[in-house]
Amino acid sequence: MKLRRAIVVLMSAQGQPAPDIAHLLKVSEDYVRDVIHAFNERGFDALSTKWSGGAPKTD
């Protein structure tokens, strides 16, 4: 969900620690960190629904 990822990024930018964000949004800390790292690497493209997180798929 794009809105959830945007909230994660906003809360992080406001200085909230990952565990607090995860608890508030009822998601894992790993999810929060993945979203933050993706945003730092890709910018706003990381918020789109086509981004699924995790490592790239390998064949």
Average pLDDT for residues 30-55, to the nearest whole number? 84
Compute the Cα dihedral for 52, 53, 56, 59 and give only its sign. negative
Say which residues have a Cβ less than 8 Å from residue 11's Cβ, sequence separation at least 6.
Answer: 20, 21, 24
What is the predicted pLDDT for the residue at 48? 85
Instruction: Indicate the pTM of the whole model.
Output: 0.78
**pLDDT tens digit string along 8-31?**
999 999 999 999 999 999 999 999
CA distance between the termini of the chain: 27
Cα(51)–Cα(40) distance, integer angstroms: 14
Residue 42, both tokens: 């890709």
The domain segmentation of the chain, as residue ranges, is 2-47
